[in-house]
Amino acid sequence: MKDRKSILLSSLIYLITNLVGLVGFFYPFFLPLLSADRAQAASPWLMTLLVGFCFVALLLEVQGDALNARFVALLGVLVALNAVLRFIETAIPGPGGFSPIFFLILTTGYVFGARFGFLMGALTLLVSALITGGVGPWLPYQMFTAGWVGATAAGLRVFRLEGRRGEVALLVALGAVWGLFYGMLMNLYFWPFAAGLGDQQWTAGLSWIAGFQRYAAFYVATSLAWDIVGALGNVLLLSFFAAPTLRALRRFRRRFTFIYQAEAL
Amino acid sequence: MIAFDRVTYTYPGATQPVLRDVSFTVAQGEVALVVGPSGVGKSTLLRCLNGLAPHFSGGTLTGKVLVAGLDPVRESPRGMSRHVGFVFQDPEAQFVMDRVEDELAFALENAAIPLPEMDVRVETLLHWLDLAPLRARALTTLSGGEKQRVAIAAALASHPAVLALDEPTSQLDPQSAKEVLAALARLNVELGLTIVLAEHRLERVLPFADRLVYLRGLEAPVVGYPEEVLPHLELAPPVAVLGKALGWSPLPLSIEEALPFVQKMAVGEGEISPAILPHGGFPYLTTEDLTVVYNGLPAVRGVSVALYPGEVVALLGRNGAGKTTLLRALVGLVHPQEGKVRLGVRNVARLDVAEVCRQVGYLPQDPNALLFADTVLDELYITLRNHGLAPEDLTLAPETLLARLGLADKAQTYPRDLSVGERQRVALAAILVTQPGALLLDEPTRGLDYEAKQALLALLHEWRSAGMAILLVTHDVELAAQVADRALLMEAGQIVREGTPGAVLATTPLFHTQMARLFPGKGWLTVQEVLRYVTSPNGGIAPRA
Amino acid sequence: MIHATAWYIWLLAALSVLLGTRNPLYLIVLLAEMALVVEALYAPTGEKLRAPVAPGRFALFVVPAGALFNVLTTHTGATVLLRLPEAIPLLGGPLTLEGLVYGAINGLSLAALFTAFTVLNLAVPIRDLIRLAPRAFYPLAVVVSVAVTFVPTTLRQIQEVREAQAVRGRRMRGLRDWLPLFMPLLIGGLEHALQLAEALTARGFASSDAPFDAPRDQGVRYGLLGALLLLLTGGLLRLAWNLQVWGWLLMLLGAVLFGWALRRAGRSAPRSTYRRIPWTRADTLITLGAALTVIPLWLRAGAARLYSPYPALTLPLFDPWVGLAFLGLTLPVFQLYRARVAAAGAAL
């Protein structure tokens, strides 16, 4: 009975936080429909605040009560590795938009599960923000999205292709999708700030379609090219390196997931 | 304090137990030394003390372990953490924080110790291990010995009664190792701390040991006072080996204990074998007035050396003397500011690193940085592919090379499942598969046990006879004394002494072997050399050979 | 050493001022003052990884970009500069001066925002940022701590692996040649993690045999859910039905409940903190200065606060009292300068 309640509460938290997270990204499209005559100058901030709260709640739920030493150590080390990769990305001006961080987020999420993948994504962004001095209001959004990347990779397990040939293709496909989508979501977050949606002089009466068009213009102008490069980068990295990486991760998974159970006497 | 009663432990999935019927006791305030070849279960035995085995690694444990009156299996590692401090081989792999003080406080914070008490405890820990001057330093800026002292202090944070250390000095240079062991000896004397130590460099730790646990794999372990156990050990330190050969009793554990025997002997004048430097042919690798700046500092200053085919040259020197930088310059990984490196007649600066390394094998300190393939054999083929070579081009097939290195049965194993010594031989194989004419080794004996070291020695002898030029950077003076034809001493980026090992080692106190310290001024370095002059079991002088 | 909490209050004040105004003159003053703080902070820190883009350079990029984007996509405003043919989708139509100015203000606002966070990033050491995490997130704080500690080790290992593979004859010919660099790093990291896990266990960090989904404190979950619902309802009231007061009230209630839930979650992980930084008079001064910055803007400047160039461009007003109050944000500069002089004195 109590278990069922626990599962229900947990699911509710997952549902609400993720839903608000999604709305937090897409609200600019709905805003003109909702607000009657006065839009608020602070509405992007209101959403940042709400998404921030939801993210914290989600993080607490994902963390659980009993993160064990193995989980902490493995996550910490892999996050450091990934954050360094991201640092290298910012230090070497390579092809714009290419980011190596999604490779490990996707592969570890796929091998170690949704919880690990979510934290891997979220904390990679957090740690690299800490070491490169990139803490800002954008951080909860970045963490949220990168967390989704890792969690969805675990979702690929439903295809039951673990250890078989098709799994790399699945990861490649997901990597391509996220390469495009991540940039798009980050832009959605940034857009209200850049476009100053709050001003009623022109938002009043701006239709859903017009809002979308404006975003499309913003997106194409600022980042489509980058995101395509990003998606391509994910595809290349995953198709070349996913197989050996998955092999290495699986070799170690056995050692990390062992739980000692006292023998019944 | 510690009691093992017929303890048998098997890892999950293993067919053989790693510990078999081990029984011993350690009283409070004693230092127990766990010895034996690698893979014999020294680490496992230590992990039984705080319940890491079986709680962390799984497996089955039968028999009874009692530590400070508690059963680690029932208490679990969390419960035992207040009673047993644990220090691991690699100090870096245990740190959570990046500052000395914070690292010491971590376990206390974790246990929610109130602030005033925490302050007192941190100060005490800093005092015990002489860390007060380093308290605010970042851990990355510390030397290996300092790091390991921090790790020991952190393990003592909860004031345990027992301290277990798993080969705490195997990754350290001799000075750092000495520093760590001195700290341990002090803790033992001043605090009455019970210490259990796994170690394979016996010569350093034997003098402190109250008790020896010699694990022998399939045979029953030998447990007792050092004097009782030592005669059974095959890997005893040189003084003990000499003592055994000369029939001294009780066997000396340290130079100090051996001196009375030596004083009773009338020792004749030894003769150092004359410096025959095999400068016959053309040098394989030479440097001319080489100066290398590394990290803004001149690490190598005006070095001129030559390496000839068919010789083993030992390069000795303190940490930071520039030895590794010199090796890296030899293969072109760093470029000299002044001077040249020549491979035969060609200037290395003009060649690709890959091309140099096909002819000069270079084994870096950490073999793990090399290995990443799925099988041992693959590692060899990866190197060949890098160089664009096919196995048919070689006179020595990769499989044969593996067999020569004693790895024939490991060809299909995952390299990371191997022991330290085996990994190093795989790395050697991956380097040597192109059959280079020279081999540069950086600290090849670090972390190796006695048997692995002997195996390496044999290989070096074999390759030298085959005409390879070998340059060996090492802190291990006993090894240098046994294998080198020539020794170079480096200080502050310069070669300050050069000659036969006898000439170089015997005149540099820091690099004295045990025999050189026992017979100062004679120029004898190894037990074999001493025995050549002194063979009488009663301590008489032997006739000259 | 300025206390981290003083910096958070400073940031909060700076943000509330920044978000409260669209007056370009105010924004320029704020940007300049915060850039001064960045300048004062920049010199003493030696961490080379944390070297963000200079605020001035960022503003030079983002202000023109904002102006250009807005002028091209919004076509309202009285002063028409140019007309693009209507046939061009989205871009077609009148390009107005008002649109240009509005976009530039957007850019200015962004630049100021970016600068405020640059101050935080430069001023507060990583360790103190981690310690800000509520106790409920202790396990994740340890993960972050482990990661931050492992970063320098990773950087060194990259160098080692690069050399080791070069020695084996690796040449950069294509993407595949990155594998020999990446795999030893990954495998080395996994091995390191295993050792670290063992060390953490031996130090009593957490029992490795605790079941992963141990029974939870349901009170925390109820609290979180309730808090989220209150926050969302409050937000919705404000956005959709313009019920400002009710909206704020519900959101405040939600935030309080959220805080309670986090506290309750934190109680399950009791721990103490070793490191502490003393709160000095300078910290009090900085806090007060920051707080004083906020008040005049809301009290005095009605029309000047929410300046808009639409429908036809006007000159923004500038209230000197408000401008003066903004100087409260520059107090850290004096403190930093004093500290540096003192350090130089001690060095002599």
Q: Residue B260: enclosing H or E segment and its boundaries?
A: helix B255-264
- The one-character DSSP state at B235 is S
Residues in B closer than 8 angstroms to C167, CB to CB, are 331, 333, 353, 357, 362, 364, 370, 431
C51 touches chain A (CB under 8 A): yes
**Which structural domain, as residue segments, surrounds residue A173?**
16-28+38-192+211-257
Taking a contact as any Cβ pair under 8 Å apart, which residues of chain A between 112 and 171 contact chain C?
A: 119, 123, 126-127, 130-137
pLDDT average, residue stretch A146-161:
91
3-state secondary structure of B291: strand
> In which order are the strands placed within the sheet that holds B31-35?
B84-87, B162-166, B194-198, B31-35, B211-216, B219-224
Cα(B370)–Cα(B427) distance, rounded to whole angstroms?
7
Highest-confidence segment of A249-258, B4-13, C238-247:
B4-13
- DSSP-derived pairing of the beta strands B438-442 and B469-473: parallel
Cα(C220)–Cα(C264) distance, rounded to whole angstroms?
6
Cα(B99)–Cα(C219) distance, rounded to whole angstroms?
37
pLDDT in tens, B244-266: 888 887 788 888 888 888 887 76
Is C200:C206 a contact under the CB 8 Å cutoff? yes
Q: B268: pLDDT confidence band, cut at 50, 70 and 90?
A: low
Residue among A244, A251, A260 minimizing CB distance to B55: A260
| Distant-in-sequence, close-in-space partners of B466: CB < 8 Å, separation ≥ 6 | none
Q: Residue B347: enclosing H or E segment and its boundaries?
A: strand B346-347
| CB pair distance less than 8 Å for A133 and C51 | yes
B123 touches chain C (CB under 8 A): no
Bond from prior residue into A244 cis (ω within 30 degrees of 0): no
Q: A203: pLDDT confidence band, cut at 50, 70 and 90?
A: very low
Helix extents (H) in chain C: 4-20, 24-42, 55-73, 97-123, 126-131, 138-167, 179-202, 218-241, 244-267, 281-299, 302-305, 320-326, 331-347
- Portion of chain C with pLDDT greater than 90, in percent: 23
pLDDT average, residue stretch B198-209:
83
Looking at chain A, the number of H-run helices and the number of E-run strands are 10, 0
pLDDT average, residue stretch A138-153:
92
Residue among B56, B78, B372 minimizing CB distance to C183: B372
Asked whether residue C207 carries a pLDDT value surpassing 50, the answer given is: no
Binding-site residues on chain A for chain B (CB distance < 8 A):
244, 247, 251, 258, 260, 262-263
Best residue in B55, B75, B78 for a mutation probing chain A (most A CBs within 10 Å):
B55
Question: What pLDDT sits at residue C310?
Answer: 76
Is C72:C91 a contact under the CB 8 Å cutoff? yes
Question: What pLDDT sits at residue A34?
Answer: 56
Residue among A9, A35, A136 minimizing CB distance to C239: A35
Residues in C closer than 8 angstroms to A119, CB to CB, are 140, 143
Cα(C186)–Cα(B369) distance, rounded to whole angstroms?
11
CATH architecture of residue range(s) B285-505 = 3-Layer(aba) Sandwich (3.40)
Cα(C58)–Cα(C64) distance, rounded to whole angstroms?
11
Q: Which of B129, B206, B114 is nearest to B163 (CA)?
A: B129
Asked whether residue A3 carries a pLDDT value surpassing 60, the answer given is: yes
Question: For the purposes of burial, counting CB atoms within 10 Å of the CB of B40, is it exposed (0-12), middle (13-18) or buried (19 or more)?
Answer: buried
| Distant-in-sequence, close-in-space partners of B533: CB < 8 Å, separation ≥ 6 | B267, B268, B270, B524, B541, B542, B544, B545
Residues in C closer than 8 angstroms to B353, CB to CB, are 166-167
Is B1:B162 a contact under the CB 8 Å cutoff? yes
pLDDT average, residue stretch B461-466:
90
Query: Structure tokens of B49?
Result: 């003390």
Q: Which of C146, C123, C110 is nearest to C47 (CA)?
A: C123
How far is the alpha carbon of A260 from chain B, nearest alpha carbon, in Å? 5
User: Where are the domains positioned within chain C?
Assistant: 4-130+279-347, 135-202, 218-267
Is C272:B118 a contact under the CB 8 Å cutoff? yes
Q: A198: pLDDT confidence band, cut at 50, 70 and 90?
A: very low
Cα(C31)–Cα(C36) distance, rounded to whole angstroms?
9
Is C70:C103 a contact under the CB 8 Å cutoff? yes
Superfamily (CATH) of domain B2-233: P-loop containing nucleotide triphosphate hydrolases (3.40.50.300)
- Name subunits touching B (3+ CB pairs < 8 A): A, C
Query: Structure tokens of B80?
Result: 């035992």
Q: What is the DSSP string of B492-529?
A: TTEEEEEE-HHHHHTT-GGG--HHHHHSTTS---SHHH
Taking a contact as any Cβ pair under 8 Å apart, which residues of chain B between 157 and 186 contact chain C?
A: 157-158
Residue among A67, A126, A249 minimizing CB distance to C139: A67
B369 touches chain C (CB under 8 A): yes
pLDDT in tens, A4-40: 888 888 888 889 888 888 888 877 666 655 554 444 5
- Name subunits touching C (3+ CB pairs < 8 A): A, B
Q: What is the DSSP string of B77-146?
A: HHHHTTTEEEE-S-GGGG--SSBHHHHHHHHHHHTT--HHHHHHHHHHHHHHTT-GGGTTSBGGGS-HHH
pLDDT average, residue stretch C17-29:
87
Q: Residue A8: enclosing H or E segment and its boundaries?
A: helix A2-34
Cα(B255)–Cα(B237) distance, rounded to whole angstroms?
10
Give the least confident one: B156-160, C143-147, C218-222.
C218-222
Number of structural domains in chain A: 1
Residues in A closer than 8 angstroms to C222, CB to CB, are 9
Best residue in C150, C203, C276 for a mutation probing chain B (most B CBs within 10 Å):
C203
**Helix C138-167 crosses helix C179-202 at what angle (to 10 degrees)?**
140
What are the b/e assignments for B193-224, b being 16+ CB within 10 Å? Answer: bbbbbbbbbbbbbbbbbbbbbbbbeeeebbbe
C136: how many CB neighbours lie within 10 A of its CB? 23
**Helix A208-222 crosses helix C55-73 at what angle (to 10 degrees)?**
140
Residue A78 lies inside a defined structural domain of this protein: yes
Looking at chain B, the number of H-run helices and the number of E-run strands are 21, 20
pLDDT in tens, A37-49: 444 545 677 778 8
Cα(C28)–Cα(A87) distance, rounded to whole angstroms?
32
B249 touches chain C (CB under 8 A): no
User: Residue A166 belongs to a domain with what CATH number?
Assistant: 1.10.1760.20
Question: What pLDDT sits at residue C301?
Answer: 59
Cα(B430)–Cα(B417) distance, rounded to whole angstroms?
17
Q: A195: pLDDT confidence band, cut at 50, 70 and 90?
A: low
More confident residue, C16 or C344: C16
| CB pair distance less than 8 Å for B374 and A260 | no
More confident residue, B431 or B538: B431
| CB pair distance less than 8 Å for B56 and A262 | no
The segment(s) of chain B belonging to CATH 3.40.50.300 are 2-233, 285-505
Cα(C270)–Cα(C135) distance, rounded to whole angstroms?
8
Question: What pLDDT sits at residue C339?
Answer: 81
Tell the residue number behind the tokens 């040249």, with chain if given. Answer: B340
